[in-house]
Structures are given as C-alpha cells and as structure tokens.
Amino acid sequence: MILGFQNFHPLKGELTSEFTEFCGDIVFRARALLIHRSEKEIFAAIEIINWMNDQSPAPAREKDEVYLEINKVFEKDEHGKPLKLEGNIHNWLTRRNVYSITYALKERQSKYDITEDESFPNGTWADFFSVMALALIDQASFSYTSTPRGPYKNSEANCLFRDLANCARSAQYLIEAMDAVATAEGIQHFEAGMADAKRKIKIRNKSAAIRRHAKTNEAIVALKNFYGEEKHKSMRNAAQIFCEKFPKMVEHLAPYNRVRTLSEGLSKLLKGQRLSLQQ
C-alpha cells in the first residue's frame, strides 16, 4: 500500500461530516505531535515511511489483502450474482501481524536510523507514526467515498449496503490510524520520561558531587584566597605551602596526593571548570 495525502491534507484538511466524529480526535492528536513540523517535512516523511514499508516482508506491503477481500462484495459471477466471500472477513481484519501497515512500521524501528535524513531533520518515531496516522485518515476518507453501487435492485437497499460497505472499507484504516497515533504518543511520553529521568539524575549527581567533595572544595576555595602570583612561584608551590600551614584542612586527602589535588583544583576553579563548586 502506498500512503499519501491525495484526499486529505495533513495540516489543513477538513473532515467530512461523516468522519468528524469517527476520526476528528485522531487528527487532532496527530497534528498536536507534529506542531513543529512543516508541510514539506510531513510530505517527505510519508515518502520515507512508504520506502521503509516496501522493505517489509509482510504481504500487506505488496497488496492490500483486506481491501481486495472486501472488494469482492461488489464482484459478480458469470450469472450476475454476487460472489461469496471465502472464510470470515474478520479473520482478515484481525491478522494484524501480517496485514497491518502500522505493525510493519513498528518492525522497522530497530532497523533504521531516522535522525540523519536531510528531508526530515532530527526525525523521531513519534513524528513518523503521527504522519502515518494522518495518511491512514486520508486512505480511510478515500475508502469511505469510493464504494460503487451495490448489487441490489432496490435503491434503499443499495444505499444501506453502500453505507455498510463504506464503514467496512474505512474501518480498517481508522483502526490502523488510532494504533499509529497511540504508538506515537506512547513513544513521546516514554522519551519525555527518559529525558526527565536523565535531568533528575544529572541534578542528583551534581548535588552528590558537591557533598562528596565538600571538604576538598573548601580547601581549594581557601587556597584560592591564599594564592597570589606575586607571592608564589606556581600553583603547586602555593599548594605545598598551604598544606604545611593548614594541615587540618587537608587531612582528609591522601598525603601523596594532596598537592596535586589542590593545585589542579585551583587551576580548574580559576578557569571556571570545577563543576562541583558551581551552585
């Protein structure tokens, strides 16, 4: 199946009255996730999605089996009678691991790096599934309005048949669209949670570093006040004299390492690089 936006614009498209209730929520949610994406980027994304799905071994990538099976309803045999469906149509609709285009894209996640494509910079899977959701709405819109006349002579029966067939043909795409936008939201929430967790870990580590190095930091700050380029030959020389004059302030440091720790700490502090001293 080749997805696109021939019938429904991803950013500006308006739903028909029949579809407003069915998929207005899906459209709203998908667009909310793509609020920072341009029209050009979204059209580029659907081309990338089509290419990735073409690489999938699932039969649904080669032909839309569900569409073909439902379409048999409108075919007739040599006697002009409607063909009988083979098996239960629900079996086709529920074998999503084989025929789901959303499922196929999920399988692609571990196989492609989507962040490097110039036409869709800094792409995320949340973006891609949101674009797919809107493209599936486009497909559902087309399916809902493309049903031919039914096989019955009675016009009312034909209208009823057409309405039911419209729902049957578009329902699959609406289910896929809901799955796609829900997947996009799940990915975004997960990534946001991971980012928040990393931020909290960073803050906690910084706080722990300040506490862990509190005595050393106090000694380095004192050394900074003690140090003078005119009074000392070097920072190392200042650190040596400081250790001799203030042994209590450096007793927590290993004797063989005191001078190096203090002199290097002083150098970083003067350059603004000692993070554990920055509040």
In a domain, 11, yes or no: no
Amino acid letter at 187? Answer: I
What number is the average pLDDT over the span 256-267?
Answer: 88
Cβ partners under 8 Å of residue 93, min gap 6? 66, 171, 172, 175
For residues 117, 121, 124, 126, the Cα torsion angle rounded to the nearest 10 degrees is -120
- First-to-last alpha carbon distance for the chain, in angstroms, is 56
| Candidate from 114-118, 156-160, 184-188, 229-233 with smallest mean pLDDT | 156-160
| Residues 218 and 111 occupy one common structural domain | no
Cβ partners under 8 Å of residue 13, min gap 6? 5, 27, 138
User: Which residues form the domain of 153?
Assistant: 17-201
Residue pair 220/278 in contact by the 8 Å Cβ criterion: no
SS3 assignment for 211-249 = HHCHHHHHHHHHHHHHCCCCCCCCHHHHHHHHHHHCHHH
pLDDT in the model for residue 180: 93
Tell me the pLDDT band of 181, cut-offs 50, 70 and 90.
very high
- Nearest-angstrom CA–CA distance, 152 and 279: 79
Residue pair 170/214 in contact by the 8 Å Cβ criterion: no
| Residues 137 and 250 occupy one common structural domain | no
| Residues 181 and 225 occupy one common structural domain | no
| Residues 185 and 251 occupy one common structural domain | no
Q: Which residue bears the tokens 């049957």?
A: 168
Higher pLDDT among residues 45 and 53, named by residue = 45
Tell me the pLDDT band of 34, cut-offs 50, 70 and 90.
very high
Domain boundary residue among 180, 201, 222? Answer: 201
Q: Which residue bears the tokens 């569409």?
A: 67
DSSP at 151: S
In a domain, 24, yes or no: yes
SS3 6: coil
pLDDT in the model for residue 62: 40
Structurally, how many domains does the chain consist of? 2
pLDDT in the model for residue 161: 63
pLDDT in the model for residue 32: 93
| Residues 64 and 186 occupy one common structural domain | yes
Quick: pLDDT tens for 234-258: 888 888 899 988 998 888 888 888 8
What number is the average pLDDT over the span 169-198?
Answer: 85
Cβ partners under 8 Å of residue 103, min gap 6? 58, 96, 97
| Residues 55 and 179 occupy one common structural domain | yes
| Residues 252 and 183 occupy one common structural domain | no
The H-assigned helical ranges of 72-213 are 89-94, 96-99, 101-108, 125-145, 155-212
| Residues 196 and 217 occupy one common structural domain | no
- Nearest-angstrom CA–CA distance, 183 and 181: 5
| Residues 189 and 229 occupy one common structural domain | no
In a domain, 273, yes or no: yes
pLDDT in the model for residue 68: 55
Domain boundary residue among 201, 225, 245? Answer: 201
Mean pLDDT of the chain: 77
In a domain, 12, yes or no: no
In a domain, 7, yes or no: no
In a domain, 150, yes or no: yes
Tell me the pLDDT band of 30, cut-offs 50, 70 and 90.
very high
- Nearest-angstrom CA–CA distance, 74 and 82: 7
Single out the residue of 206, 224, 213 nearest to residue 271, CA to CA: 224
Q: Which residue bears the tokens 């792409």?
A: 123
Higher pLDDT among residues 31 and 195, named by residue = 31
- Token output for 22: 């069915």
Residue pair 277/269 in contact by the 8 Å Cβ criterion: yes
In a domain, 80, yes or no: yes
Higher pLDDT among residues 271 and 29, named by residue = 29
| Residues 111 and 148 occupy one common structural domain | yes
Domain boundary residue among 179, 201, 223? Answer: 201
| Residues 221 and 248 occupy one common structural domain | yes
- Nearest-angstrom CA–CA distance, 149 and 24: 27
Res. 174: pLDDT tops 80: yes
Cβ partners under 8 Å of residue 159, min gap 6? none
φ, ψ (nearest 5 deg) of residue 15 = -80, 150
| Residues 42 and 125 occupy one common structural domain | yes
Quick: pLDDT tens for 203-229: 777 777 777 778 888 888 888 888 876
Higher pLDDT among residues 5 and 17, named by residue = 5
Res. 146: pLDDT tops 90: no
Higher pLDDT among residues 194 and 34, named by residue = 34
